[in-house]
A = this chain, B = another copy of it.
Amino acid sequence: MTMDIALVAGGAGFIGSHLCRALSERGFEVICLDNLQTSRVSNLDSLADLPRYSFVEADIVAPLPQAVLDKADRITRIYNCACAASPPQYQADPEHTMLTNVVGTHHLLRLAEQTGARFLLTSTSEVYGDPEVHPQVEGYRGWVSCTGPRACYDEGKRAAEAMTFDYARMKRAEVRVARIFNTYGPHMHPDDGRVVSNLVCQALRGEPITIYGDGSQTRSFCYVSDMVEGLIRLMESDIDGTEPVNLGNPQEFTIGELLSKVLAIVPSDGGVTHHDLPQDDPRRRRPDIARARSLLGWEPRVALDDGLPQTARWFARELGATLPLAVAAE
């Protein structure tokens, strides 16, 4: 029996690894392609039990490896989840971040053109920058600095979107573009510098908890299982792929509220330290998901009060930390 193959670039990453499992469960043979730059090998270990699964270590900035090309005729879905996504990680080598988005997407789009596979770009709410429009709708063009320290990622994703939509306009490939808002859950990197992992891990370690600014800036947090469901629905839908689709949880919390919820799950006496807001840090971020609701029948189902304990339990295992019995037992 030959099976359709889903290629997941960045498949060893946080969202990518959950996506690999979900695609396998839906009957795809899965190729996970990853350069292991910021991904965790333990994420790969979690995939080892999948049937008809292979891992290829490669960087999509380079021409695609033979191990992928050898199976190209069976690849029907290409998910591009490849890019370091937290500021400390993507700023460590900004040139590589830009090239991952532009050259990497170029290589995968070429593969889609050659194979007829459908291509999905995981873009980001960062294309909206520090938004002046709230909540963010897909037609909003954003307030993005192309000269600042976040530009390698923000402008890299915008450039990747531009190229993806050009492929669609020229009928070179069938494409989908998801703009992913903050997502959290197991398989996050404990030290990726993002707020959920920061707060949970600092609390678990009893370290002072870092709050940037006064904590009044807002974010919306989507649990990873919801995000993966949205990505697959978008890929499998028959929508016109020439417009992006926001995916995220529209429920908005201040960082201060998030901190309270984390401390209720992971009591800590490490205290809180306040730092200045980083340059170009967005003050508010919340998706308008009307398009995803109407086109995909999708909306998030996991509330923060349910997803956060699951995330804390996973981090506790990773870090060898202990949780209060009531949380740990669930």
Within residues 121 to 147 of chain A, which ones have a CB less than 8 A from any CB in chain B?
127, 129, 141-147
The interface residues of chain B lying within 8 Å CB-to-CB of A103 are 99, 102-103
Within residues 82 to 100 of chain A, which ones have a CB less than 8 A from any CB in chain B?
94-95, 98-99
A240 → B minimal CB distance (Å): 12
Please measure, in the bound complex, the distance between the C-alpha atom of A145 and the C-alpha atom of B162, giving whole angstroms: 9
Please measure, in the bound complex, the distance between the C-alpha atom of A242 and the C-alpha atom of B170, giving whole angstroms: 37
Say whether B165 contacts A151, CB under 8 Å: yes
Confirm or deny: A243 has a beta carbon within 8 angstroms of a beta carbon on chain B: yes
Confirm or deny: A166 has a beta carbon within 8 angstroms of a beta carbon on chain B: yes
Kindly supply a per-residue 1/0 record for chain A positions 166-210, scoring 1 wherever the CB is within 8 Å of any chain B CB and 0 otherwise.
110110000001000000000000000000000000000000000
Confirm or deny: A285 has a beta carbon within 8 angstroms of a beta carbon on chain B: no
Most chain B beta-carbon contacts within 10 A, residue among A109, A144, A158, A167: A158
Say whether A147 contacts B98, CB under 8 Å: no
Confirm or deny: A159 has a beta carbon within 8 angstroms of a beta carbon on chain B: yes
Say whether B159 contacts A158, CB under 8 Å: yes
A84 → B minimal CB distance (Å): 14
Contacts A95-B106, A102-B102, A102-B103 given; indicate if A151 touches B162 (C-beta within 8 A).
yes
Confirm or deny: A244 has a beta carbon within 8 angstroms of a beta carbon on chain B: yes
Of the candidates B151, B162, B165, B177, which one forms a contact with A156 in the assembled complex, judged by CB atoms under 8 Å apart?
A: B162
Residue of B at shortest CB range from A177? B147
Of the candidates B99, B106, B152, B158, which one forms a contact with A146 in the assembled complex, judged by CB atoms under 8 Å apart?
A: B158
Please measure, in the bound complex, the distance between the C-alpha atom of A165 and the C-alpha atom of B106, giving whole angstroms: 23
Contacts A158-B155, A162-B98 given; indicate if A146 touches B127 (C-beta within 8 A).
yes
The interface residues of chain B lying within 8 Å CB-to-CB of A106 are 95, 98-99
Of the candidates B159, B169, B177, B243, which one forms a contact with A159 in the assembled complex, judged by CB atoms under 8 Å apart?
A: B159
Most chain B beta-carbon contacts within 10 A, residue among A129, A146, A156, A166: A146
The interface residues of chain B lying within 8 Å CB-to-CB of A145 are 141
The interface residues of chain B lying within 8 Å CB-to-CB of A158 are 146, 151, 155, 158-159
Please measure, in the bound complex, the distance between the C-alpha atom of A72 and the C-alpha atom of B156, giving whole angstroms: 29
Of the candidates B102, B129, B163, B244, which one forms a contact with A141 in the assembled complex, judged by CB atoms under 8 Å apart?
A: B129
Q: Which 4 A-B pairs have the closest CB atoms?
A: A151-B162, A146-B158, A94-B166, A159-B159
Binding site for B on A (CB under 8 A): 94-95, 98-99, 102-103, 106, 109, 127, 129, 141-149, 151-152, 155-156, 158-159, 161-163, 165-167, 169-170, 177, 242-244
Seed contacts A98-B102, A158-B159; 12 additional CB < 8 Å A-B pairs:
A94-B163, A94-B169, A94-B170, A95-B109, A95-B167, A98-B162, A98-B166, A141-B144, A146-B159, A146-B161, A152-B163, A158-B158
